[in-house]
Structure 1
Amino acid sequence: MSSSPALAELPQIERRTLADTAYDALSDLLASGRLAPGDRLSLRQTAAALGVSVMPVREAVSRLASDGALEVAPNRALRVPVLGAGAFRELAETRMAVEGLAAERAAERRSHADLVAIRRAEAAFRSLAASPQPDGAKAVALNRDLHFAIYAACGLEPLREIIARLWLKAGPVLNLDLRAHPERLQQGFAVRRHAEAVAAIEARDGAAASAAIAADIGDAAEFILSRGGLRERLAT
């Protein structure tokens, strides 16, 4: 039996949109640091939280698993991967190179509107870091907001897409770090690196912007790897 020509005119928009929405929501949880390495989720609970069926969540999870951002057990349980120390070092080095390039291009190409957004994001992070008891989870999210405000100004969408995938893996580790060691915020290393990056972008100094962002990533990675408590959660 041949299908009706009218059926060929029906685009599968809603299912694709629901899967994309689920993917975006889960990606935001990972990149903003609201999940930590080893955290577990279930397809049904995630679908219920999003108000959708399991099917679009399963599709979103499949995409995230292919990115290495989630692991799917045989029983369909989901887990945020626990990175080995070597894999974490490689991730940090890759981020330094790729995000450094994005910061360099942002300094060269940023508009006034870009600069306003970057300054606003930097001020929000700095304000939180200066509070007596900074919220580590919120700090991870604000840190992400600042970095992506910078990368939004680079003008290279493929580069931004690569960075977004890297943050799917980086966000959970940053969450774990700041939950275990909130004092790192008060030491001011990130605040100083951020200030250096913003000043370089204001001055359109691409090399300095790249160096500041790379140093920010490198400082955090060295701190994380130096803390024995984190080694209990980062596989060796």
Structure 2
Amino acid sequence: MEKIVRQTLSDQVYGDLKELLQAGEMEPGQRFTLRGLAAAIGTSAMPVREAVTRLAAEQALEVLPNRAIRVPLMTRERFLELRTIRLQLECLAIEAAADKRDDNELAEIQRHEQEFLQARAQPDSRAAVRANKNLHFAIYRSARMPALLQIIESLWLQIGPVLNYDLASSAARLSQGEAHLHHRAMVAAIENRDPAAARQALHADLLSASEYILARELLP
């Protein structure tokens, strides 16, 4: 029973850390300790250690020689590689979503778009990053392709922290950027069941964000 309880807790911690990474709540290069993470989550060190081990295997976290835990730094070369893969897989997902979504799924997508617009209006960069992630994943879940969704989740474990270099970079970037326009086009295409338009809108969204990040020359 103790082993089952510990494993369940480990899975919960893993899910919490995964959500933080994908939603951009952690930044590239940010460091933690097992004790600090355990205290923040409110659990013992063992489930945190097990969750970190899993995330390290997925290249989402690094365990340093001094036992510190670090969000990996992203190189320009790796960022470009991940962008190439994301453009293919996430565009495939949104095409399927436009074709398969039901009314409940559309309502959830629209709700997250509104959350992003509210965060943009405040402006609240952190809330915008979370809303952006929630919008994208509401779309990808609507594709109803579990294997594809799992791959996209793995990619976002690596790319999520880097999105802080875009939407969370400044209030001006959030209020003056084009993300809300791309989101509007994505949602409209899904509402109209237009896979080609959905793909075009998402492609533009990913390229716009990635080109801004590359232009800032923060990636080694």
- Under TM normalisation by the shorter chain, which class is it? over 0.9
1:187 alignment partner in structure 2: 176
Instruction: Please tell me the residue identity of whatever aligns with 2:214.
Output: L
**TM-score between both structures, scaled by the size of structure 2:** 0.95
CA contact (8 A) 2:95 2:195 kept: yes
For the residues of structure 2 that align with 1:149 and 1:210, how far apart are their CA atoms? 15
**Please, which of 188, 194, 197 is the counterpart of residue 205 of structure 1?**
194
Q: Does 1:38 align with 2:23?
A: no
2:56 alignment partner in structure 1: 65
**Please, which of 154, 160, 185 is the counterpart of residue 149 of structure 2?**
160
Instruction: Please tell me the residue identity of whatever aligns with 1:158.
Output: A
Q: Give secondary structure in 2 for the equivalent of 1:86.
A: helix
1:85-128 C-alpha deviation (Å, 9 max, x unpaired): 11111112211111111111100000000010011111111222
Q: Does 1:140 align with 2:110?
A: no
Instruction: Please tell me the residue identity of whatever aligns with 1:100.
Output: C
2:68 alignment partner in structure 1: 77
CA positional deviation for 1:51? 2.0
CA contact (8 A) 1:37 1:176 kept: no
RMSD, aligned α-carbons? 1.4
CA positional deviation for 1:216? 0.6
**Please, which of 22, 39, 42 is the counterpart of residue 51 of structure 1?**
42
CA distance 1:11–1:155, change in 2 (3 Å): farther
Instruction: Give the 5 Å matches for 1:163-182.
Output: 163-182=152-171
CA contact (8 A) 2:189 2:197 kept: yes
For the residues of structure 2 that align with 1:74 and 1:118, how far apart are their CA atoms? 42
2:5 alignment partner in structure 1: 14
**TM-score between both structures, scaled by the size of structure 1:** 0.89
2:117 alignment partner in structure 1: 126
Ranges in structure 1 where 5+ consecutive residues have no aligned partner = 1-9
Ranges in structure 2 where 5+ consecutive residues have no aligned partner = none
Structure 1 segments of 4+ aligned residues over 4 angstroms from their partners: none
CA positional deviation for 1:64? 0.6
Q: Does 1:90 align with 2:90?
A: no
Instruction: Please tell me the residue identity of whatever aligns with 1:171.
Output: G
2:210 alignment partner in structure 1: 221
For the residues of structure 2 that align with 1:115 and 1:143, how far apart are their CA atoms? 16
CA contact (8 A) 2:29 2:71 kept: yes
For the residues of structure 1 that align with 2:110 and 2:169, how far apart are their CA atoms? 28
Instruction: Please tell me the residue identity of whatever aligns with 1:14.
Output: V
CA positional deviation for 1:11? 8.3
The percentage of counterpart residues that share the same residue type is 49
1:54-80 C-alpha deviation (Å, 9 max, x unpaired): 111111111111111111101210000
Q: Give secondary structure in 1 for the equivalent of 2:106.
A: helix
CA positional deviation for 1:162? 1.0
